[in-house]
Chains A and B, each alone.
Chain A
Amino acid sequence: MEHLLEVKNISVQFPLDNNSFLEVVKNVNLTVLPGESVAIIGLSGCGKSTLLKTACGLIRPNVGEVIFKKSSVQSFFGSGELSYIPQEPLLLPNKTVVGNIIFPISSHRVKTNVAVNKLLSKLKLSDHKDFYPKQLSGGLKQRVSLGRALVSSPSIIFMDEPFSSLDQFTRDRLGEDLIGLRNKFKTSLVLVTHNIEEAVFLSDRIIILSQNPASIVREIKINLPSERNHQTRRSDEYLTLTKQVRLALDKTLLLYE
């Protein structure tokens, strides 16, 4: 199968005040297949978000390139092929739930074949469609953010710790819904998280990053069925994988302490 996204040997440096540079990401190679979920985990501040933003083209790497569908990732801006879910839902306060969800496709540049009403129903937002963001709970806001990312029927969604501010129960429910939506829309996911359980549940492959600068130290294949629900979390395979990832992360931690 052809790769959907190819991150080719990228390095990212940020300029410092004293004419020097801070290398945040170093020599990272990463590929994502169509419909595949990849979770990137690492310690706080290790450069996960920078890597994610570089992979979706929002940060230009100092070295290397990011190829999406055989072209530069930036050439797909405005096409609706790429979606990004930031850590905070960042909804537009002046738009209702529906207004926020259709906002990316309201510029007439982005075309979609997603029926908004169906999407609202899938996200369990039908009863709240005319609500403004300030009238919504954190979980509902995150659902709207998810809907906004899905509305353009993207090929890939980049997610930066999207559920980190939510309680465990809401986080689990949203994770299950996300897996369902991914399977329905055949969308690839690239997810940054520092939650091991979330990474195992949501991904097909986990990438562990080192610290300062971030580079890939380990890759773990997640052999769970593509259909996942709350029972998956109780399965032996899931628990074994969670333990395996925790051990790998602990090793990384020891290595860089």
Chain B
Amino acid sequence: MKKNVFILISLISIFVFWQFIEDLVNIERVGAGQISLGAFIPTPLTIATVISAQSRLLFTALSVTLLRAIIGFLFALLFAILNNYIFIAFPKARQFFLPIMLAVNSFPIIGFSPLVILLFGQGSEIGIVFISFLIAYFPILITLDKALKQVSVDILDLARLWGFSRGETFVRIQFPFALPHLFNSFKLALPASIIGATLGEWLGTSIGIGRIVVLSLYQLEPGLMYSALILITLSSLFGVFLIDLVENIVCPWQRGK
């Protein structure tokens, strides 16, 4: 909680500093007959005004983007856990597929955009969710794989002695062990999935934060563009805060780490 209050204070400080500096620069620039800096970088107060005036448009777009991101994230989580279980059950599959997956991960996701358009069509919902999935999947997969590899062989031996099946060992021993690591990966993967959904929306869609960013760029509306970007950033931060909260409930043994 203390950490979150600190983050909030930092954010407010940044906004206050930004407003103060920009006001100062704008007075100088306008006084010298130059165009106000606000034409490129709006002040926090301007952004707040735009958010209030365009709240319906912005929040509708935000909810659509977040929904796409969350679906992508949940699919990423599901597939990463499933993949890791397969890797444990069939070590040969891990040897074969993991290097391929790491290679795909090192490829910039934006490079997949043409492929996604080709596969799912321009502005397709599935395409956007797919990009969001792809960008969130690898951090979860790799972190979980590493965490599961850290489980001691001796404890797995004990599980055999206790008569646990492979599935039971995964669910009751390996997965709980990896859970804190998994939550750490969520803190990377959730913002990544939101970026993925926004990125996917750039490729063409009728609604979404990505769409607003692109439109406001072409229509030279920096206030709207910044509003959209700030809302998506705050959503990411809120998502990370929620993950922290859930981690505290799900992993009580990690408290005060």
Q: Are A86 and B163 in touch, CB under 8 angstroms? A: no
Known contacts A84-B157, A90-B152, A90-B155: does B253 contact A107 (CB below 8 Å)? no
- Interchain nearest-CB distance for B177 vs A (Å): 7
Known contacts A77-B160, A78-B162, A104-B162: does B154 contact A86 (CB below 8 Å)? yes
A-B contact count (CB 8 A): 59
Question: Which of B157, B158, B164, B251 has a CB less than 8 Å from the CB of A94?
Answer: B251
For A137-154 the 0/1 string (1 means CB < 8 A from B) is: 000000000000000000
For residues 163 through 205 of chain B, which have their beta carbon under 8 Å from a beta carbon of chain A? 163-164, 168, 173, 176-177, 179
Bound CA span A79–B253, Å:
30
Chain A at the B interface: SS class: loop
Residue of B nearest to A104 (CB): B162
Q: Are A58 and B251 in touch, CB under 8 angstroms? A: no
Asked whether any CB of chain B lies closer than 8 Å to the CB of A243, the reply is no
Q: Are B177 and A77 in touch, CB under 8 angstroms? A: no
Asked whether any CB of chain B lies closer than 8 Å to the CB of A70, the reply is no
For residues 129 through 163 of chain B, which have their beta carbon under 8 Å from a beta carbon of chain A? 152, 154-155, 157-158, 160-163
Q: Are B163 and A107 in touch, CB under 8 angstroms? A: yes
For residues 80 through 117 of chain A, which have their beta carbon under 8 Å from a beta carbon of chain B? 82-84, 86-88, 90, 92-95, 103-104, 107, 109-110
Asked whether any CB of chain B lies closer than 8 Å to the CB of A132, the reply is yes
5 pairs across A/B with beta carbons < 8 Å?
A53-B157, A77-B160, A86-B157, A87-B154, A92-B177
Contacts A78-B162, A86-B158 known; 9 new A-B pairs at CB < 8 A: A86-B152, A86-B154, A87-B154, A90-B158, A94-B176, A95-B253, A104-B162, A107-B168, A132-B253
